[in-house]
Structure 1
Amino acid sequence: MAITPHSNEAFLREVDEELRRDQLAGFWTRWGRWVVVAIVAALAIFGGVLYWQHHQEAAAGVEGEKLQEAFDLLGAGKFPDAQAKLAPIAQSSRPGYRALAIFSQADIALQKNDLKRAATLFATVASDTAQADAFRNLALVRQTSAEYDMLKPQVVIDRLRPLAVPGNPWFGSAGEMMAIADLRTGRRDLAGALFGQIARDDAVPQTIRQRAVQMAGLLGVDASAAIAAPTLNQDVKAQ
């Protein structure tokens, strides 16, 4: 009996479907267990990531609370209790919390007039590459301030030169220390010019600018107008 084209196509389709079923069954027999293992492993990893994120957030919240407790103790003058709270946070894996705790420890050392320990603590933050530049630069300025009298003038100049430029947030503090170091090395012209720049910079805190005007004047640089003009403007606005 001859097979019509229609019957032939139907037969081939049935063979093809049967072959696919056999291949699927063979694949599942050979690899099915590993597919299940892979799915379970992927779900476990995903669950682990979610747990880790939750744990990190919870741990950060706990550290934040402990840091606030330490600040409250500092405000109350309870330095030993504050130190106990700050010690573990100063070893935190979170750079921001770590920096704040170390800054607080350094401030306690300054309260005790322990300049060497304060400088060492500030240096820890300044050299911590995991910290933001704002923290590191602030730490460098405060480290230099704490150990200023123990440093050679050229060390101060070399250390603070990158920060003692107009436009830098620490120009006032870094520039003032650098200008004094210039003065100690006999470079009165450099010191006077730097004090003049500080006095004319509106972004520098007013107290530093006022000192800069006085120092610039002593060194033959007239920067008095830099302070007089803003003061006059403020008087006019007040009227």
Structure 2
Amino acid sequence: MSELFDEVDEDVRRDQLKQLWDRYSIYIVAGALLIIAAVGGWRGYQYLEAKKAAEAGASFDHAVELSEQNKHAEAEAAFTELAAKAPSGYRVLARLHAAAEAATRDPQAAAKMYDDIAADRSVGTAEQDLAKIRAAGLLLETSTYPSMVARLEPLTGPDSTFRHTARELLALSAWHANDTTAARQWLDMIANDGETPASLRSRAEALQALLPPAAKS
């Protein structure tokens, strides 16, 4: 008797499953196809991105080789093209390198390129600060000390990545402007920072030795 009931229950379950399949099979199949399409699309996207990155890497290396061969015009053109077309990971690096190549022919134009990078909010903070430092380095001989302060003073704080270079550039700018008081301020800041690189500390000490005795503490 129990076997009969089991057979009936099995038939009922089979009928219920058939009814569910008849009613929802189109949705189940559509959902499965969507999943397959999504996975395939994601894999395709990953492949294309990896291909673009590999191509950009090869182009970047070629541009670096041109620079090392002193073919600066060709290198600048190559980096500029990369900055316009490469994946995001290479764009900022390419822009920085393009500006460095431009500096060999026109420091003012290169400084403008660095300033554009520094003002671009889509660029990371570290890259913005590096661009500010490089622009200031190019303009050191032609900018006034107040202009250099406006550019670099925000980068001289104790937590700034490029504070050592910013302080050195400001000390040099003040020295060029015959502002020994300001030069002493920045040189003292360099001397009192325990993390100042040894080479930069040596340069600061050499500059300090050039200051007139009245300016020394």
TM-score by structure 1 length? Answer: 0.73
Q: Which amino acid aligns with 2:110?
A: A
1:134 to 126, 133, 142: 126
User: Whose Rg is larger?
Assistant: 1
Moved more, 86-95 or 53-62: 86-95
Gaps (5+ residues) in structure 1?
1-6, 223-239
CA distance change for structure 1 residues 196 and 118 in 2, over 3 Å: closer, same or farther?
Answer: same
* Equivalence for 1:106: 99
Q: Distance in 2 between matches of 1:77 and 1:186?
A: 36
* Equivalence for 1:159: 151
Q: Distance in 2 between matches of 1:136 and 1:96?
A: 15
* Equivalence for 2:112: 120
* Equivalence for 1:209: 201
Q: Distance in 2 between matches of 1:208 and 1:129?
A: 30
SS in structure 2 opposite 1:111?
A: coil
For residue 212 of structure 1, report the CA deviation from its aligned partner. Answer: 2.2
How many residue pairs match? The answer is 214
CA distance change for structure 1 residues 149 and 39 in 2, over 3 Å: closer, same or farther?
Answer: same
Alignment of 1:8-157 (within 5 A): 13-92=6-85, 94-112=87-105, 114-148=106-140, 151=143, 153-157=145-149
Q: Which amino acid aligns with 2:11?
A: E
* Equivalence for 1:228: none
Q: Distance in 2 between matches of 1:15 and 1:123?
A: 82
What is the aligned-residue RMSD (CA, Å)?
3.1
For residue 89 of structure 1, report the CA deviation from its aligned partner. Answer: 0.7
Q: Distance in 1 between matches of 2:203 and 2:132?
A: 22
Q: Distance in 1 between matches of 2:81 and 2:126?
A: 23
For residue 25 of structure 1, report the CA deviation from its aligned partner. Answer: 1.3
* Residues 141 and 160, structure 1, Cα contact 8 Å, conserved in 2: yes
CA distance change for structure 1 residues 119 and 168 in 2, over 3 Å: closer, same or farther?
Answer: same
SS in structure 2 opposite 1:37?
A: helix
Q: Distance in 2 between matches of 1:32 and 1:162?
A: 65
* Residues 164 and 178, structure 1, Cα contact 8 Å, conserved in 2: no
SS in structure 2 opposite 1:77?
A: coil
* Residues 73 and 101, structure 2, Cα contact 8 Å, conserved in 1: no
CA distance change for structure 1 residues 152 and 23 in 2, over 3 Å: closer, same or farther?
Answer: farther
Give the percent of matched residue pairs that are identical in Structure 1 and Structure 2. Answer: 27
